[in-house]
Amino acid sequence: MASWVVSECSLRPFTAVKIHHKPRPSLPSNTINAFKFKPLPCSAFKVPTLWSKGRNLGGWGLLNVSAPLKVTITSEEDKGKEESTTDGVNNGEFDPGAAPPFKLSDIKAAIPKHCWVKDPWRSMSYVVRDVVVVFGLAAVAAYFNNWFVWPLYWIAQGTMFWALFVLGHDCGHGSFSNNPALNSVAGHLLHSSILVPYHGWRISHRTHHQNHGHVENDESWHPLSEKIYKSLDNATRLLRFTLPFPMLAYPIYLWSRSPGKKGSHFHPDSDLFVPNERKDIITSTACWTAMVGLLAYLSFAMGPMHCLNSTASLMRYL
């Protein structure tokens, strides 16, 4: 790679080598949505190479190399359509903002059929397993009852509360079982136990999936515009963007949604819901209220410290 090379008998000049770009072979035609790399124009440039100094041979050598100006990836079905227009861009290049070269039905067709089978017994086994772990962690923490164990308990129990949330999440999506009544009962028990209104969250989460990534209509991930951010008072900015206050953002979101949006996950007349969902919201809010009442009773029966530790675990989950 240097300007000189050692031959059999002496040193002789070494001419620069130019490396040309070679096209990659395309994938087999029977591969679903196969991609191929196409040869593109190359631009040559020189790269200096530093090699050993000494014996009057030191210095810089130049290596002429070539590299593609740009990379274009096209799907097999787009073969021969290099100049196709995508969202107003007529250059045939890969557009990360364009629709993918496959449909949702193609993804579903590639998933084995047994993965679509909803087994309620298996789903309930996960519920039983997680509930056993939750009570087991509580029993271990109560047995040792010292400040070295409690922080570890908060982390472990908060993780298990998240596991309960995921099971309730699956109930809301209908993937827990094919029985809507079972999904509703299990979802209320699971979500109410961690102070989440089941139907209120289920409906807003459905809205999130229907508008995923939309700056204005996405429900769960709603970014603030500069105008809204500047309109926030100092207390709201402090509570929303300064640790540890953002750890409480989820219950605040459930109560009053994101800044710039109106309504609540607990109120049946919120614009989050349509009139025929009113009874569902009342049911979920009643279950949530019953759980709050149970925690208040336990704080008197077992002592406030035990409820405080449970609340700390809940904050770890949130």
Cα(257)–Cα(198) distance, integer angstroms: 15
The SS3 of residue 50 is strand
Model pLDDT, residue 38: 47
Residue ranges per structural domain of the chain? 117-310
Model pLDDT, residue 221: 73
Q: pLDDT means per 10 residues in the chain (318 residues)? A: 46 49 50 46 46 43 47 50 46 76 91 93 97 94 89 93 96 96 97 96 92 82 80 84 81 83 91 94 97 90 73 61
Q: Are 199 and 280 in contact (CB under 8 A)?
A: yes
Model pLDDT, residue 92: 61
Question: Is the dihedral angle over the CA atoms 275, 182, 135, 161 positive or is it negative?
Answer: negative
Cα(73)–Cα(102) distance, integer angstroms: 14
The SS3 of residue 183 is helix
Among the listed residues 230, 91, 133, 117, the one whose alpha carbon sits nearest the alpha carbon of residue 176:
117
Which two tokens mark 148? 């070295």
DSSP state letters, 234-301:
HHHHHHHHSTTGGGGHHHHHHHH-STT----SS-TTSTTS-GGGHHHHHHHHHHHHHHHHHHHHHHHH
Among the listed residues 292, 218, 302, the one whose alpha carbon sits nearest the alpha carbon of residue 260:
218
Torsion of CA 87, 92, 95, 101, to 10 degrees: 90
Q: Which residues are CB-neighbours of 237 under 8 A, at least 6 positions away? A: 229
Q: Are 264 and 255 in contact (CB under 8 A)?
A: yes
pTM of the model: 0.64
Model pLDDT, residue 233: 87
- Match 């040792």 to its residue by tokens: 144
Torsion of CA 297, 298, 300, 306, to 10 degrees: -150
Q: Are 216 and 224 in contact (CB under 8 A)?
A: no
Q: Summarize the chain as % helix, strand, coil (round to 5).
A: 50, 10, 40
